[in-house]
Amino acid sequence: MNALAVIGPALHRLAGELPSTAPQGRNIVAAQIAIGSLFSLHILIAGLVSGAAELGPAIEFLGYMRQRRNYDRLAHGLGRFITLYFSVSSTIAILLVTVLLVGYWGHFWTTIVTIGWWPLFIEAWTFVLQVTLAYIWYYTWDPLRGFKGVHMAIGGLLAIASFLQVYMIDVIASYMLTPTNPQNPIRLVLNPTSYPLTVHRTVGNLAYVGFVIGAFCAIRFLRAKKPEDKVFYDWAGSFGVLWGISLTLLQPVVGYSYAKEIQLHAYGSWYKMMYGTLSPLFLWQITLLGIMFLTATLYFARRLRTNGARGAGLLKAMAVGLVLTILLAAQPYHLGLTYDAVAGAGLNRPFWEGGLINPLGSMIPWKVLALMFYTLIAIAAVVWYLRGLPGVVWGAARRGEQRLLMLLAVLTIFMMVTMGFIRENSRAPFLITGEMTIQGQQNIEPTPTPQSGP
Partner 1 sequence: MGRIAAVYDWLDERAAIRSLVRKGLYEAVPVRGAWFYTLGSATLVLILLQLVTGIFLTLVYVPSVTEGWASLNYLKQHDAFGSIVRGIHLWSAYILLFVIGLHMVRTFFSGSYKRPRELNWVTGVGLFILVLVMAITGAFLPWDQAAYWTAVVVTNVPSYTPFIGSFIRALWRGGDFVGPITLTRTFGIHVWLVPAILFPLILAHLALLRKHGEFGSYINYRGAYRRREGVDVPPAPAQRPIEPPYPAVPTDELWAAPLETEDFFPFQTFKDGLVSVVLVIVVFLLAVAIGAPLEPIADPSTTSYTPVPEWFFLPLDELLLLVPQQLIPLVLVLPAGGVLLLLALPFIDRGPERNPFERPAVMVPGAFAVLFVVILTLLGSGRLFNL
Bridge pairing between strands 436-437 and 430-432: antiparallel
Q: Select from 224, 368, 428, 444 the one that contacts partner 1 (CB under 8 A).
A: 368
What are residue 437's DSSP bridge partners? 430
Longest CA–CA separation in the chain, Å: 92
338 phi/psi in degrees, rounded to 5: -125, 160
Q: Which is nearer to partner 1, 147 or 256 (CB)?
A: 256
Q: Report in angstroms how near the CB of residue 167 gets to partner 1 at its nearest.
A: 12
Stretch that binds partner 1, among 72-80, 112-120, 178-186, 343-351 (CB under 8 A): 178-186
Q: How far apart are CA 45 and CA 355, in angstroms?
A: 46
Query: Is residue 130 near partner 1 by the rule CB under 8 A?
Result: no
- Report in angstroms how near the CB of residue 56 gets to partner 1 at its nearest: 19
Q: Is 149 in the site for partner 1 (CB under 8 A)?
A: no
Tell me the CA distances in angstroms from 78 to 153, 173, 201, 248, 379, one per residue in order: 16, 27, 19, 20, 26
Total binding residues toward partner 1, as defined by CB under 8 A: 36
Tell me the closest approach of the beta carbon of residue 222 to partner 1, in angstroms.
Answer: 27
By CB under 8 A, tell whether 397 contacts partner 1: no
The answer to whether residues 176 and 112 touch, using CB atoms and an 8 Å cutoff, is: yes
254 binds partner 1 (CB under 8 A): yes
Burial class of residue 447 in the structure, from the number of CB atoms within 10 Å of its CB (0-12 exposed, 13-18 middle, 19+ buried): exposed
Cα angle at 131 between 134 and 52, to 5 degrees?
A: 50
Q: Does residue 329 touch partner 1 according to CB under 8 A?
A: no
Per CB under 8 A, the segment of 34-42, 165-173, 257-265, 323-331 that binds partner 1 is: 257-265
* Sole binder of partner 1 in the list 187, 223, 398, 399 (CB under 8 A): 187
Q: At what angle do helices 399-426 and 194-223 cross, to 10 degrees?
A: 150
* 160 contributes a contact to partner 1 by CB under 8 A: no
For 235-258, letters b (16+ CB in 10 Å) and e give bbbbbbbbbbbbbbbbbbebbeeb
CA dihedral sign of residues 393, 395, 400, 404: positive
Confirm or reject binding of residue 18 to partner 1 (CB under 8 A). Answer: no
253 in contact with partner 1 (CB under 8 A): yes
| Among 65, 143, 225, 454, interactor with partner 1 by CB under 8 A | 65
Q: Which of 25, 57, 119, 196 binds partner 1 (CB under 8 A)?
A: 196
- HSE-CB for 280 with a 13 A CA cutoff: 7
Within 145-303, strands assigned E span: none
CB atoms within 10 A of CB 71: 21
d(CA 431, CA 25) in angstroms, rounded, equals 12
Please tell me whether residue 382 binds partner 1 under the rule CB under 8 A: yes
Piece of the chain touching partner 1 by CB under 8 A; list 83-91, 209-217, 361-369, 415-423 = 361-369
Distance CA 8, CA 31 (A): 32
Lay out the site mask for partner 1 across 88-127 (x = CB under 8 A, - = otherwise).
----------------------------------------
Q: Cα(first)–Cα(last) distance of the chain, in Å?
A: 42
CA 395 to chain centre: 31
146 near partner 1 (CB under 8 A) = no
Stretch that binds partner 1, among 120-128, 276-284, 289-297, 375-383 (CB under 8 A): 375-383
Range in contact with partner 1 (rule: CB under 8 A) among 34-42, 62-70, 221-229, 279-287: 62-70
Instruction: By CB under 8 A, name the one of 49, 168, 206, 249 that touches partner 1.
Output: 249
Which parts of 425-454 interact with partner 1 (CB under 8 A)?
none
Residues of this chain that bind partner 1 (CB under 8 A): 65-69, 180-181, 186-187, 190-192, 194-196, 199, 246, 249-250, 253-254, 256-257, 260-261, 265, 364-365, 368-369, 379, 382-383, 386-387, 389
